[in-house]
Structures are given as structure tokens and as C-alpha cells.
Structure 1
Amino acid sequence: MARIPNVPNLITAWEKTNLAALADDPAMQPFIEFQKSVSSQKSETLGFAIGVRPEDILDVATGEAVAIWLPFEDPRRPYAVAVIVDIRGNEAQARGLLDQVDMDLKAAGATRQVTTWAKQEIRRYSLKPLPGQLKVDEVAITMNEQRLIATDRESVLVSLLESASGKDTQPKLELAADYIGVQEQTVSRVGESPDATVGLEWFARPIAMGRIVKEVTKIDRGRQVNIINLLERQGFDAVAAVGGRVTLGEGDFDLRHTGFIWAPPIPGEPERFRLAARMLRAINVPDQPIPAWVGPSIASYARINWELAKAFWYAETLVDDAVGEPLFQDLLDGIRDDQLGPQIDIAKDVIPNLGEHVIVLSDNVTPADLRSERMLVAIETTDAKTLRQVVRKTMEVDPDATIVPSPVAGVEVYRVLRTEEPIDFEAELFSDLGIEANEDAPAPLLNEWAITVLDNPDGQSAGGKTPGYLVFSSHPELMLETVERLSAANPQPSLDQTPEMILLREHLEALESEAAAQEGHAVVRMARTDLTLRAKYSLMREGKLRDSDSVMASLFRRIFISKDDEAEDLGTDKLPPFEQIQKYFRPAAGISQATPLGWTLDGFLLK
């Protein structure tokens, strides 16, 4: 569900935001006009083929507007969509909208039937199917002096009318325990300033919504693993709901989100999570400064606090379930005992030496090309020496691995470049999970990456073990930059000293209660969006974004794009050069705290 409490207030507040200024910039108008011309097709890709376009709703609404997606008993199209709009005082314009919809649908070959419910007229349109169109058979629309309702099924519309009249005995969302839980946890932390406008409220049940998204996006994996069913079997349905609210124009914030992931204890069960879902147990750690070894050119910084060793073992049932047989332990035994392999005992030498913190950095280089997006992941280890030996043994038997000259003596940096079709762990695992790579797509998740183990200059040795980081990078160049900084006695300047990060940290601290600050967070992320988006924007403008060599683009191609899919014309060639609009992209941050009932989900974009 997505709800705008008051559409006119939203429009007024939106016009004062930095994002609205971006949309109004003359340089953006060719792109904006193109988007308006194709808005009806875009709404259909969201399963929103109900005759009424989003901009129509904004035009006629005088109060709230609600859009809902819900499961529906129909094997061809197991979901339904509806929109409810407050039109009080604007009945004439709403009537004109219905007449325009009537003409548009009839022009597209639809036939209309008129029925009534409690003397209220219902227009039901039977749609003419088009090649490649979503399986939408009908559109049903009605209105009275209070509201306009549009749905893709007449039976859903009738149910909504019955509910509004008090005749429907079905359970109401506002009385559902998960909805109440999300609302209570969200509102209790909001603390909005008087100038804030609640622009949007949203709520979803992840498993049910995942199935709807799968249908809407037409993801058909054939005989491959049904990921949604797999996650449900493995206990991830413990995450019962998620929701939040977005405010506009609140103090220094262009946008602010306050939300909650609802995963409460299960009555009668000793634990909240079972099977693989136990890996969701994040831990809160008091916030710390960004390490000095993180350089000032980095675009985004994230710190994730997680019991990595436990999470690894919780994945066993997930892998075994996905392949339909006990495979997880066999994989570990095979790696340990393979005479032609590195003979690494992951259970003994790797997992027990993992810490509880992960740092994720991203940046990009210009001019933008398919390899501009760079990422680095530093996983805390309690025994850098042992992990260094593990990496060395693994790389020595990998024919695609070579040592890269390091700027620091004694630090071994390995570069892996897949020069031919690999038979690596990543490819095997994706194949076992039923996620086959396309014939025309590169098999590995990354064609090139780098790995090393570094001592942590801020860590304290214990029991003869030196703490450090197991470091992966999508680009050897970023790895070498990090090696040099992490090995320096006092690397200056650092990301933590940049004006944007100082500003973000100040606002994060101001939003937190004293108790929450002492408790800490499971996840903290800070980003300079003008840097995080510049390469993506340039590639999108050139129509090359989905061909990017970044980790996210590779994952997207694997999961969502078939080899026969053609790139859709999004009008991105009409976008202006990034430098013309860079000023509108402001710093942003997000935080999440683990609680006995779930996780907070908060963030903001500065003005």
C-alpha cells in the first residue's frame, strides 16, 4: 500500500524541495516532456493498468490518495491493483476524467458495461488484449461526490464499496497486528518539526509483495528455484511487514524517511528466527568515526555490524534446500580435500577468524565507462596472519590470479582476471541455485577483482593474533590506494574530514535520542550523491547503464534480464550533461538499529 495523506499539501511541499528544482531546471525539460508522453506505458509496467494515470490522480485529488496491490485468486494473474482518491469539491473535474478514460479505453478497443451497486454506477471495461500486454482483462471505475475508485477487477471494486459502507466483514488492514506494529514503531520515533509535510506512507508484506513483483516484472525462471518460496521455507517469513513514512521540507531535510521492519517474536516459539533466517540477527554497535584509511575521494561509506561466523553456518539449510540435497558440507569438504585445489579448511581457518564488522566503500572514476563504478569490501578478521595464509594458498592454485606490485612491502595483493569461461565457485553456486547465466552474458559476477589481507592499525592484538581486514575490491587500483592509506601512520586527508561527512554526522546525531545513540546501530551508510550518481547518470544518458561492469549491474542482469530482452527507450539521451545539474544532488544518510521487534529503517536527503 502507498498512501498520500493529502495530495495538495504534498504538491505544495514538493515544489519547495531541491528535487523539484531539478525537475524544473530548463536543461531537464526535454527528458521530462518525454517521460510525460510515455507515462501510461510506464504505469502499466507496475501492474497499474487501470485506465487512470498517476498524473490524473494528482490533478483531481483534493485529499488523500491510496494505491494498493493485493493477492488475488487467479493463476493467470494472481494479484489486483486499486486506486482510491478523495475528490470532494472537485467532482466536475473527476467526471471529466472519467469521460476521458472512457474515450481512451474505447479507442483502444475496450467494450463498456454499466452496472450499479447501491445505486452507484460502476463502469466495467472489457479490454482487447494486445501482443505482449499484461494479462489485464478488465478495468472497473466508479465515483461519487466523495471518492473515485479505479481497479483492474470489478469484484475488488465492489469489495471496496462494501467496506466503505460498513457492509464488508473482511479483516481491515488498520486492525492487522503487523500494520499496527509498523505504525507504532514508526510514529514513536518521528519527532517531526512543525514545517514537515507527510508526503507518503507505505506498507508491505515482503513475501506476498515479492510474489506480486515477480508477476508484474514477468520474471519466469522456468524449472529453476523459486526464490520467494525458498525464502519462505527457510524462515524469512518471520519478517512479517515493512513500512514507513516520507516527509518533505523538514528543517534541513529535502526528504526524510522513518520506517520499520516488523519481525516480532513468534508466540510459543523459543526464537524469532528459524533455519537460514537466523542469519538476519544483526547487532548494534555504538557509532564510530569513519576510519582514517578511507580516502576523501570515496563517494559512499557503509558499516554493517553482523555476526558473520554464525551467519555463514546458518546458510547451510538455505543452500541445501535450494539444490534439493545436502550440498553445503560437501562443498566445504571438497575444498578442504581436493588434491588439485588450495586445500583450505574453511570451517577451521576462515570462519572462526571472521569478526563482526564489514565496511563497504564505493566510488567511481571519470570519464564514465563500463568499469567506472568501483567497490571495496573490508571484512573484519581477528587473525590476519591465518587469513593471509588462506588467501595465499587459494591464489597460488588459481590460474587467473597474479600478484600486483604493492606500494607497501610485505603486502600481497592478488588480481584475478577471468580470461576465459570460468568454472569457479560463483558460477557453480549460481548454477546449483538454478540461476543460470545467459549465453550472451559474462559468466562471472565480476571479470576482474582483487583481494588481500591487511592489518588493522587501530586494532589490538589478543592471544597472539593480530586483527585486520580481509579486503575485496572490484578494481585493483582502488585496492592499491587502500593498501597505501591503511598502511600509512597518519593518512591525511580522510573521508571523515570532508564537509559533507561532517554535515551528515551532525544531522545523524541530532536525530538520535540519547538512548538510541548509546545503543548504536546495525547499519550506517553515508553518501555524497553527486559522486555516487555521476558515473551511473553518464552511462544512463548513453544508454549503457545495464551493461556496466559494476556488481549491482551484473546481479541485475543475472536475475531480471533474459538474453532476448531488448533495451527499452527511456529517453535518457535527452538528459543534460551531469555537470549542468550536479548541484541538485545533495548528501544523504541512512541508519538501521536492531530491536526486539525488528529493525528501524531511517534516512534522509539534505537540502
Structure 2
Amino acid sequence: MKFRLTPLLGLLLSVLLVSSACAERPNAARIISDQTFAFLRVANTPDFIAKMEQTAIGKAANDPQMQPFVSGIWQTLKQSAANAEERSGITLEELLSIPQGELAAGVVAMQEGQPGVVIFCDLGEDTRVIERVVSLLETVAGNDGALIERSEFKGAEITLIRGNNGPLAISIHENVLLLSNRIEVLEDTLEHWSGDREDSLASDDRFSTIVSSSRGTKDEPAQLIWYVNPIDGLRAITKNQPGGSYVMGFLPVLGLDGVKAIGGSYIAATEDFDTIGHLHVMLERPRTGVIEMIALKNASTEPEGWVPEDVTNYMTSNWDVEKSYGALENLYDSIFGDGKLAEDIDRRINQRTGIDFKTEIIDNLEGKFTLVQWYEPPARINSQATFVAAKIKDRAMMQKTLDRIVESLPRLNDVVEKRNFGDATFYQANVADAPIPEDVPEDRRRRMETRRALRPEPCFGLIGDYLFFADRPGIVEHVTMTFGGDSPRLAEDLSFKLVLNKLQEHAGERKVAMVSFARPEESLRMVYELVQAESTKDFIGQRAEQNDFFKNLQGNLDANPLPDFNVISQYLAPSGAIMVDDETGLHWIGFSLKRDTE
């Protein structure tokens, strides 16, 4: 069987066959109530699949040299589903072919009882597969003792299955499958099927703000959107629950009631970009409590001199440390009493370590924070190493502070070793391992060795004018060699400069709170090498003896090995993201570049 990413890709022609009734129906956001506190919508499933095929991942999966491997994975899934297909008479391909237009789901707050979930799925002109699925569901539920009731509402037939796991209302109306755990929600959906309701989700200012700010760079509509109203959702979930009123009453104290809505979108295969993603956090003004602690400043777009060129992920942001700490102090003191934060820090930190936490650490932070991730060879499950750094004002002061902390805490002092490597001075955790007894069974020995190999080796210290924490010494050494000029730097990389220019175009005059950069090909390289590693083959082989899925996977991978890495990597291009702080809240936009493979 020729496989192109998913079986739905072979059914793209059905987009042209969707009935006019489906095409003219208002989208789900105009039908459901503004009491919906969670919502997800794919505008047109076949179109979305087609767009995904045009992305780098889609092109890589459809590459002739990748087809045997992808087909092998698909065959593994088919073999795993074979028993279910035989019992039901419905194939996996048929199930995946069901969505033929809009696919949406919403969670609605109710006056009484649990929230209602409603699912919309456009079926196109052919509803035979879903009718077989519904018939099978009724049969299985009936055999399990469920009550099945039928009714009619607004010209639509509704089947209500009252089973052990709660009710399920089903209706196929105008070639659209509707599912809900509350028949009231399904009837409300049918009541407003024309989309002319004044209290629809689409008319909600919070929802419309997120949708309008989550379009493509050339105003391309999003193929996928999502939306959450966290406060209304929490209120609906905790209603009539023990302690629910206490939880809701405590939110204003923390300032979390200022989170009005969260949402975003995904846009694939635009004119200029491979993919674009949006995330918008809508906030009340003025910000209070926890939200006030998010005191972001303009972020420098220039990578530090110690950031290696071959990083997989890089992210930096600038904070007003004094303002953030002040907001934390105000919040803490408002809950526990005036001056309580300073008192607790003095008792729990200062007196135990002999330092002045506020003066020596907080006041010594300049406000720039950076995260770097890098894959340390050889490939293994825990190859990804992380390095987090904060820029400081006075390195000598910070070094004295770290030394005093280590010396004053015997337990810490016993397990760390002070090291110097180039410009870096740091403490590395060393946990001694007891010898593995010789009479331990071989399979247990391997498990013990694997657990020890996966265990992190935390490090903390200073490099240049940065205080850092890392999860292993390898990345510290790599960063230090870069800082010393022995390895290429990210700041000199042409792909980073290209992404940075695109980011600056997106930002315009807005305040940039965060900048990030990623190399998906480096992340994929680790996965690629891991799949081919002997340790992975041993892992699959051990489980294949007792598990049919792994047995099938092993056979298909042996018969259809991965091609050379450059077959995949040629399609992948760097990506970047920014976060801006504006009058409505925080807005994140990320994109991946297009790579010309023609």
C-alpha cells in the first residue's frame, strides 16, 4: 500500500464533494454558546491534511526514499488494530476517513451538573461509515446493559445511550455528526443551527480578540484554533465540589482572576513560512498578584558569546528583577503578613547559609535569562543537555556567595566537587555508585546500568558574567570552549541571522519580551541516531518476545530501515519565536522557515 503521511491524504478529492449544506453551515463557534470555556476547531480536515503534506515534515514523509520506512510504521499500526478491525468490520482507514470538513469540540459550563462536551464532525456526502460505527456502538452498549432512547428535536433524530460510564447523545444532522455527554447541549446546538444566536462564542470579545490576533503574516486564516477561558472553566469544574468556593475566592488574592483567556492557532504552508503558531494570553489591566510578577523588558537579540552554534534550542528574555521581586514580596506579605517574606528568607536561607539573599543574589541579577539546549553525543535517551544562565553584575561577589552556600550546607558539600574548566568555575554533583554484584542476572544488570547512565549530573557555577545551572558537565565544557573561541558561536551563524531578521520584522515597534531560535534538524538527528542505536534495537528486541506490537515493529523496522539522514534533513529549516507584551496581554508567535528542495 502506498502511504502518504496518513490515509486521509489519498482522499483529498472529497473536499470538492462536500455538500452545499455543509459548506453553507455557520462554523461551530457561531453555533455554540458563549458559556463555552474550552474550544478546539479544525476549519477543514482534508484541507488541513493537504497543508500538512506541504510542510517540511509532510514532504520528508512523502520522499520516495522514506516511503518504505513510513509504510513499515503504518503496517505496525495496522497489525495492532487487526483484531479490532476483524471484530467490528470497520477498518482503520475507514475511521480516519470520517472527518470531511469542519472538526470541532467545545466544553460548555452548565447551570447544574457537570460541564457539557459537544463535538462537531462534518461527514461529507457519504455517512455510511459513521452510521455503521453508531450502530456498532449501540449494539455494544445494549449488550452491556445500557438504556437506548430515541427522540426528535428540530427535525433531527437523537439517540441517547445511558450506559455505565454516563450518557452519550448522538445525532447525524445535515451530514454532521454531533456528540455530547449532555442532551441539553446537543439540543441547544440544534436550536441555534442557523448560527444567528447573539450569545455565541464567536461574539465573545475574548474569543474574537484571540482569533483576530492569531492569523498569518499576510492575513492567512488559521487552519486550527484553540481557546480556553481558565477562570470560567475552573468555576464550572469546582462548582458543587468541596472547597470549590474557597478556590475561587482565593484566585483574586493571587491575581489569577486577571487571566481573561488563553488561545492560539496553527497555520501550515503559508506563502513565506513552513508553519506559523500563535499563543495569546489575554490579561486584565492593571495586573496584580502573580500576573504583576511578569515584568518583562525589551530582550536583547544578540546571543551571548558562550552560546554554541550547534545548539538545538536557544531562548533569552529580559526581566525587571526589582519589579518582579517587589510584586512577589507584596503578594506574599498580603497573604502571610507584613514583612513576612523578608523574615522567612532570613530564617530559612540567610541564617543557614550566612549570606544576604536579597543583596547578594537578587540585587546582583541584571535581568537577562537564557536557556540553551544541546544534544551531547553519542545518541541516547537522555542526550539532550540543558544550560540555564542569568546575567549578573558582580562575578566576584557571586563566587563568594556560592562558596559560602556550599561550605555552610554539609550535605551539599559532601556530594559536590569544585571544578575549573577554561573560564568556568563550577560545582559538579558526584554521586558514588555502589559496585554491581557479580551474581546479578544480566537483564537486571542492564537495567541498573541504564538507570545510572540516565541519571543527571547537576552543575552550577559561573562563566563570564553569568550564573548558570546545567544538568551535566558535558554542556558546561562545550559552552566554555565556545566562550574561549574554540568552537563556532551562534551569533555568527547565517541561519540565525536570517531568523532574527524575520523576528524583528514581526515585532515592528512592539516591545519584545522574549526571543528564541531552534534547529529542528539537530533535534531530529538525535532521534534518528537513537532509532538506529544498538541500545534501541535491544530494547525493542527484549519486548518483542512478549508483545505483539514490538514484535511487529521489530520486523517492519528490520525490513524497512531508515534512509540516510540527509534525506530527511534537506527538508528542515530553522525556526524562531518572539513574545510581545501589549495592551491586551502577552502574545507569542513562532514560525519555521521554508526550505527550497526543488
Instruction: Give the alignment's TM-score, normalised by structure 2.
Output: 0.71
Q: What is the correspondence of 1:432-581 to structure 2 with a 5 Å cutoff?
A: 447-455=456-464, 468-486=465-483, 488=484, 493-509=488-504, 511-512=505-506, 516-535=507-526, 580=565
Kept after mapping to 2: 8 A contact 1:593/1:600? yes
Kept after mapping to 2: 8 A contact 1:418/1:447? no
Question: Shift in Å at residue 452 of structure 1?
Answer: 1.6
Unaligned runs of 5+ in 2: 1-38, 83-89, 434-450, 537-546
Structure 1 residues 390, 544: closer, same or farther in 2, change over 3 A? farther
Structure 1 residues 156, 518: closer, same or farther in 2, change over 3 A? closer
SS at 2:512 equivalent: coil
Structure 1 residues 13, 359: closer, same or farther in 2, change over 3 A? same
SS at 1:593 equivalent: strand
Q: State yes or no: 1:122 paired with 2:158.
A: yes
Kept after mapping to 2: 8 A contact 1:524/1:590? yes
From 71, 80, 83, the counterpart of 2:119: 83
Q: What CA RMSD, in Å, does the superposition of the two structures yield over aligned residues?
A: 4.3
From 174, 177, 182, the counterpart of 1:145: 174
Structure 2: how far apart are the matches of 1:500 and 1:96?
48
Structure 1 residues 172, 378: closer, same or farther in 2, change over 3 A? same
Aligned to 1:376: 387
Aligned to 2:185: 156
Kept after mapping to 1: 8 A contact 2:263/2:279? yes
From 388, 395, 404, the counterpart of 2:419: 404
Aligned to 1:388: 399
Kept after mapping to 2: 8 A contact 1:23/1:32? no
Aligned to 1:174: 202
Answer 1 or 2: which has greater helix percent: 2
From 288, 308, 323, the counterpart of 1:295: 308
Aligned to 2:16: none
Q: State yes or no: 1:67 paired with 2:67.
A: no
Kept after mapping to 1: 8 A contact 2:375/2:523? yes
Paired residue type of 1:177? D
SS at 1:602 equivalent: strand
Structure 1 residues 541, 54: closer, same or farther in 2, change over 3 A? farther
Q: State yes or no: 1:364 paired with 2:375.
A: yes
Instruction: Give the alignment's TM-score, normalised by structure 1.
Output: 0.70
Structure 1 residues 351, 53: closer, same or farther in 2, change over 3 A? farther
Kept after mapping to 2: 8 A contact 1:446/1:474? no
Structure 2: how far apart are the matches of 1:369 and 1:184?
43
Paired residue type of 1:126? R
Structure 2: how far apart are the matches of 1:16 and 1:592?
27
Kept after mapping to 2: 8 A contact 1:255/1:605? yes
Kept after mapping to 1: 8 A contact 2:295/2:321? no
Kept after mapping to 2: 8 A contact 1:538/1:578? no
Paired residue type of 1:192? K
Kept after mapping to 1: 8 A contact 2:419/2:426? yes
Kept after mapping to 1: 8 A contact 2:154/2:190? no
Q: State yes or no: 1:415 paired with 2:428.
A: yes
Aligned to 1:247: 267
Max radius of gyration: which structure? 2
Paired residue type of 1:239? V
SS at 1:250 equivalent: coil
Structure 1 residues 507, 337: closer, same or farther in 2, change over 3 A? closer
Structure 1 residues 274, 481: closer, same or farther in 2, change over 3 A? same
Q: What is the correspondence of 1:138-287 to structure 2 with a 5 Å cutoff?
A: 138-145=167-174, 147-164=176-193, 171-187=199-215, 190-192=216-218, 198-207=222-231, 233-265=253-285, 271=286, 273-285=287-299, 287=300
Question: Shift in Å at residue 253 of structure 1?
Answer: 2.0
Aligned to 1:2: 40
Q: How many residues align?
A: 497
SS at 1:192 equivalent: coil
Q: What is the correspondence of 1:287-366 to structure 2 with a 5 Å cutoff?
A: 287-316=300-329, 328-338=341-351, 341-366=352-377
Question: Shift in Å at residue 200 of structure 1?
Answer: 1.2
Question: Shift in Å at residue 167 of structure 1?
Answer: 9.2
Question: Shift in Å at residue 192 of structure 1?
Answer: 2.1
Kept after mapping to 1: 8 A contact 2:510/2:581? no
